[in-house]
Structure 1
Amino acid sequence: IIDIEHNGPTKILEYDNPECLILRGKEKFEPNWQCIILQSEINAGKELRYCTFTPQREDRIIAWSDGITQSGLGSKEYPLGWELKRAQDFALLVVKNEHKVSARKLSTKLVNMAYVNDNYHPKDDISAATVYFREPRKLLITTGPPFDKENDAKLVNEFKNFKGKKVICGATTGDIISRELNVEIEDSFEFTDPDLPPISHMKGADLVTEGILTLGKATEILSKHTENSTL
């Protein structure tokens, strides 16, 4: 059980599962774990572990089933299975090589590696889940001029104060923002796609493009996107 408060401590409780891995940046992090030895007749002697810690930005929690840690069991390479230490080292290596790797991608890499260890014939459930404490990635697409010209300044103010990636789509919209912020648009001959007009550059914007054709192309790409494709 992983219980995450919005702006407070995170609590983890483990019972009869491989130890989860907590990363602080690119290093393993060990909170203060507490143990309870169960006394009930059915579960006598079994251990319940729990901890509480305050997560920091770029922390990760990786939980997995024993299908991960025991993958490859009985094989020539891993007669005793992949084991917890190797799974942890693999996860650490992925994060060190790709510091901003997404939670989904990291979990997928772990599952795929266990699948390979089992020679593509898993003998048990193979599951991995990752929690990634990161800065939210926000994107603002500004397109189309306001219906009333007196709202130009309001549009530009929202654009200027947005915290995240900012994209301008459309020549008219770009001209309004350029005028209100007194910043020039620099045209270029950079064709990122042969079907689209070239991109432009403007201080304060991460991308400046033509409008309707570019938005139509983006819609087409997104409509064909699947979990197995890469944007």
Structure 2
Amino acid sequence: MNGLTAEVGYVSLIKKGEELCGDRVETVRFEDSTTLVLADGLGSGVKANILSTLTSKIIATMMASGMPVEECVRTVTRTLPICKVRKVAYSTFTVMQVNHQDEMTLLQFDNPSVILLRGGVSIHYPQEELVIDGKKVIKSVVKVKPNDIFLTMSDGALYAGVGKMYNYGWQRDNIIDYLEARYEPDLSAKMACTIIAEECDRLYDHAPGDDTTVAAIRIRPRQTVSLMIGPPEHPEDDQKAVEELLDGGGKTIVCGGTTSNLVARVLDKPLIPTIEYFDPEIPPTAKIQGIDLVTEGVITIGHVLKLAKGYLENEDLSTAWAGKKDGASRIAQLLFEEATDIRFIVGRAINPAHQNPDLPISIVIKMGLIDELAEILRKMGKQVTVSYY
């Protein structure tokens, strides 16, 4: 998309008393398109989860394969199991599909209308009504611009606060006002969803009365972040590894004391340590001219991995790390929020300090941390490469 990419994010709140969410988000990526489907199954719990899962997977797969919307809707209608109580097979859905021609296609069936935020302001977009097998589907085609945010939600968001904060729930106009007031130019898709989900959770008094999901696609420029951890196995590769770190054209992170000294030596720049402990569990950072962030190694990356798991699984809506200054939080901000493309440069050399029996950290553990972190980042939709030296 002319140097742009579709960044996807979503957050779900499960109805109080249920173990499974009745909403489902499915994403399918190809080189020339990104498709996101949010489905909201009838009712809640297991049955709703089955309905929404079938709906989202069928529509996402068919749409991503270029099938006409009419065929997608008919297939869903004929596939969903019939509820014995209500005698209907019902799941609302929203489809957002952006292609390499910079066009966003929206298909909306009975979910709250998609919000398009452009420059921090909600704008209207064209809508066309289609009737397919008796179902009214709203179709829109929008030419996208950099930093556009397309945000959709299940109706649980509109019911937030009913009988508590609001008489009639949190209406769409209220949600738009709330989002506009908190908009920032670098607001990620996931953070936009988190802003709305956090407020829904508060309005529900942290006991959601309905499954609530917010999903978004942000059209954003690509941003590379390169992270180097560990010195190369062969010292003659030191220069090459540092050159790869700097060749990414984006922001750079160096992790580990030995690695930091190596980079400082190759760049002929001083390594300046700091003694500020922003978090007692995470070692302080350092500075090297020309490097955006310098941190300790395995302990810090271990904390980043923990944050990544919570971020991916929506375990912590607060995302408190977003405002912290410790090394792990700053790496999380760069990798989770800023980066679209991530390059890991991993050295295979065995650190002599790790041979101390009191510090049972091996090269295997370090590489395992990076491999697991890389896989989680890929699930976030990041383009990740890992180079070993």
With normalisation by structure 2, the TM-score equals: 0.48
Larger of the two Rg values belongs to structure:
1
Which of 289, 298, 304 is the matching residue for 1:203?
289
Question: Which letter maps to 1:174?
Answer: S
Q: Could you tell me how far 1:21 is from its partner in structure 2? A: 0.3
Encode CA deviations 1:178-202: one digit per residue, 9 max, x unaligned. 3333333334444445577653311
The 3 A distance-change label for structure 1 pair 170 and 68 is closer
Give the aligned partner of residue 122 of structure 2. Answer: 28
Give the aligned partner of residue 85 of structure 1. Answer: 173
Q: Does 1:216 align with 2:299?
A: yes
Give the aligned partner of residue 51 of structure 2. Answer: none
Q: Could you tell me how far 1:120 is from its partner in structure 2? A: 5.7
Q: Could you tell me how far 1:117 is from its partner in structure 2? A: 4.1
Question: Which letter maps to 1:36?
Answer: E
Which of 49, 52, 60 is the matching residue for 2:138?
49
The 3 A distance-change label for structure 1 pair 50 and 190 is same
Which of 223, 226, 230 is the matching residue for 1:140?
226
The 3 A distance-change label for structure 1 pair 111 and 146 is closer
Identity of aligned residues (%): 26
Question: Which letter maps to 2:301?
Answer: A
**Does the 8 Å contact 1:192/1:199 carry over to 2?**
no
The 3 A distance-change label for structure 1 pair 49 and 204 is same
The 3 A distance-change label for structure 1 pair 65 and 193 is closer
Give the aligned partner of residue 11 of structure 2. Answer: none
**Does the 8 Å contact 2:256/2:298 carry over to 1?**
no
1:114-153 residue pairs with structure 2 within 5 A?
A: 114-117=200-203, 123-135=209-221, 138-153=224-239
The 3 A distance-change label for structure 1 pair 209 and 66 is closer
| Structure 1 CA distance for aligned equivalents of residues 98 and 240 of structure 2 | 38
The 3 A distance-change label for structure 1 pair 186 and 7 is farther
Which of 65, 74, 78 is the matching residue for 2:154?
65
With normalisation by structure 1, the TM-score equals: 0.74
Out of 5-14 and 135-144, give the one that drifted further.
Answer: 135-144
| Structure 2 CA distance for aligned equivalents of residues 115 and 195 of structure 1 | 29
The 3 A distance-change label for structure 1 pair 133 and 189 is same
Report the secondary structure of 2:290's partner residue: coil
Q: Could you tell me how far 1:12 is from its partner in structure 2? A: 0.6
Question: Which letter maps to 2:302?
Answer: T
Report the secondary structure of 2:176's partner residue: helix
| Structure 1 CA distance for aligned equivalents of residues 238 and 186 of structure 2 | 37
Q: Does 1:182 align with 2:271?
A: no
Structure 1: 5+ residue runs without aligned partners?
none
Tell me which of the two structures has the higher relative contact order, counting C-alpha pairs closer than 8 angstroms and 6 or more residues apart.
Answer: 2
Question: Which letter maps to 1:215?
Answer: V
Superposition RMSD on alpha carbons, in Å?
Answer: 3.3
